[in-house]
């Protein structure tokens, strides 16, 4: 079975690793600290245990975790045939990780970038093998979301796209093809919506509850934009809006100061127990 | 015992959803603003608060639909474990 490396054991890395392992892939999950990896394993254990309750398939936590090994540092990925990178949405962090990956991986390995808004072509240019780098924008929670955006960069080889399509189909995902542009389709629209919703709260026009109620009640959305922000991570929202702002140099993406304050204050949403709402340490 | 159990569960839901006007028999998932993500929080809350582990065959959404159903679940688990 294909060996797949997963870089970053945060909200997305946890979901990606679980999805891979439960689909039968041998998975190596890496991050920068042992503690983060322990938390990730605990979260995967809990998510598997509660999978059926949440409307997913019945999953045996031991079986899923049995296919996942963890390690500190990307050096552990030397034998990976495919790597899915899910580190923090910050250019400096992504650049450093991709520079290391380019040295560690075999030339045949495929590198999948999971990002909210950073252009794939930009990430691919970091290493010497831009043809093996491709973007996949997974949705959150990964195991529960059957559709992803598939984004080839400027130099991405057709073989890279093909290997990625096969992996995605093995993970039970349908891919929507999208061209490379910051934010792709989903976050070009969603991040603006969440940012503007944060402005409504910031300006005192409505509470978070009322904003979300309008989206659920009036538009029939299953979740409002601010509950969605808490699910995604308020910090990740801010970083993504900043990426869009910088990339398009367009003031319509100006990040709401409330997002900045919440990020500084550690109000990152579900993952820290508090964001626009307060959670009972249930984690992601 | 069950009365305080029910009260604790009710307060937990109301603290999380201040706009909720619910009673013990109401299906919370039919209200429109509580989704399955909250089911996970309920399991965590119940396990932590009442010091028990919900067994796999009880991890059924129907056990978490109403405050009464959750209270019954807690009572059942306490009964089987046999702790006061
Ligand atoms: N959260 C979402 O809903 C969502 C959805 C789609 C895509 N994304 C994108 O996925 C990526 C990850 O997002 P997230 O929400 O999981 O973020 P997160 O903050 O929850 O997790 C990021 C993880 O990366 C780790 N990390 C940082 N530097 C590292 C390094 N050098 N080596 C290894 N690990 C490192 C961090 O320790 C952290 O555990 C981002 O690019 C984000 O934009 C997020």
- A177, A208, A242 - which closes a domain: A177
Instruction: Give the domain CATH number at A217.
Output: 1.10.1040.10
Given a cut of 60, is residue B81 above it in pLDDT? no
Q: Is the residue at A279 inside a domain?
A: no
Architecture of domain B3-78: Orthogonal Bundle (1.10)
Is A155 in the active site? no
Interface of B with A in 2-21 (CB under 8 A): 12, 15-16, 18-19
Q: Is the residue at A213 inside a domain?
A: yes
pLDDT tens per residue across span B32-52 = 888 888 999 999 999 999 999
Query: From atom 3 of ligand 1, which residue's Cα is the shortest distance away?
Result: A232
pLDDT > 70 in chain A, percent: 99
Neighbours of A26 (CB within 10 A): 18
Q: Cα angle at A88 between A172 and A228, to 5 degrees? A: 65
Residues A148 and A80 occupy one common structural domain: yes
pLDDT > 90 in chain A, percent: 97
Task: Give the ipTM.
Answer: 0.85
Burial of A233 (0-12, 13-18, 19+ CB in 10 A): buried
Residues A173 and A41 occupy one common structural domain: yes
Residues A37 and A157 occupy one common structural domain: yes
Instruction: Give the domain CATH number at A75.
Output: 3.40.50.720
Instruction: Report d(CA A258, CA A205) in Å as an integer.
Output: 14
Is A218 within 8 Å of chain B by CB?
no
Query: Is there a contact between A277 and B16 if contact means CB atoms under 8 Å apart?
Result: yes
* Domain boundaries of chain B, sorted by first residue: 3-78
Residues A156 and A197 occupy one common structural domain: no
Structural domains in chain A (count):
2
- A144, A177, A210 - which closes a domain: A177
- Catalytic option among A98, A137, A155, A268: A137
Range of the domain at A162: 3-177
Q: Is the residue at A280 inside a domain?
A: no
Binned at pLDDT 50, 70 and 90, residue A283 comes out as very low
């Amino acid at each position: 079975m294909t060996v797949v490396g997963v870089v970053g054991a945060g909200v997305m890395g946890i979901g990606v690793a679980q999805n891979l392992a439960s689909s039968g892939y041998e998975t190596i999950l890496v991050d920068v600290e042992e503690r983060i990896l322990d938390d990730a394993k605990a979260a995967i254990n809990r998510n598997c245990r509660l999978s059926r309750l949440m409307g997913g398939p019945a999953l045996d936590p031991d079986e899923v975790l049995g296919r996942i090994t963890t390690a500190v540092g990307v050096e552990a990925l030397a034998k990976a045939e495919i790597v899915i990178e899910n580190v923090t949405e910050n250019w400096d962090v992504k650049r450093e990780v991709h520079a290391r990956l380019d040295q560690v991986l075999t030339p045949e390995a495929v590198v999948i970038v999971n990002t909210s808004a950073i252009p794939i072509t930009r990430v691919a240019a970091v290493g010497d093998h831009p043809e093996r780098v491709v973007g996949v924008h997974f949705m959150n929670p990964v195991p529960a979301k059957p559709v992803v955006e598939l984004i080839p960069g400027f130099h991405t080889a057709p073989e890279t796209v093909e290997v990625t399509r096969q992996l995605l189909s093995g993970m039970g995902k349908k891919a929507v093809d999208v061209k490379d542009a910051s934010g792709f389709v989903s976050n070009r629209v969603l991040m603006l919506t969440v940012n503007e919703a944060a402005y409504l709260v910031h300006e005192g026009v409505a509470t978070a509850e009322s904003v979300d109620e309008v989206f659920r009640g009036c538009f029939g959305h299953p979740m409002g934009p601010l509950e969605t922000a808490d699910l995604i991570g308020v910090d990740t929202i801010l970083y993504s809006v900043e990426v869009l702002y910088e990339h398009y140099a367009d003031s319509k993406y100006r990040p709401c100061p409330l997002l900045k304050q919440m990020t500084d204050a550690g109000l990152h949403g579900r993952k820290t127990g508090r964001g626009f709402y307060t959670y009972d340490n249930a984690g992601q | 015992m069950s009365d305080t159990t029910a009260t604790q569960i009710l307060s937990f839901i109301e603290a999380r959803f201040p706009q909720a006007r619910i009673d013990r028999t109401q299906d919370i998932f039919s209200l429109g603003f509580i989704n399955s993500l909250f089911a996970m929080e309920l399991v965590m809350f119940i396990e932590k608060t009442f010091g028990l582990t919900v067994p796999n065959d009880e991890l059924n959404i129907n056990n978490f639909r109403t405050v009464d159903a959750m209270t019954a679940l807690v009572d059942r688990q306490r009964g089987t474990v046999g702790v006061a």
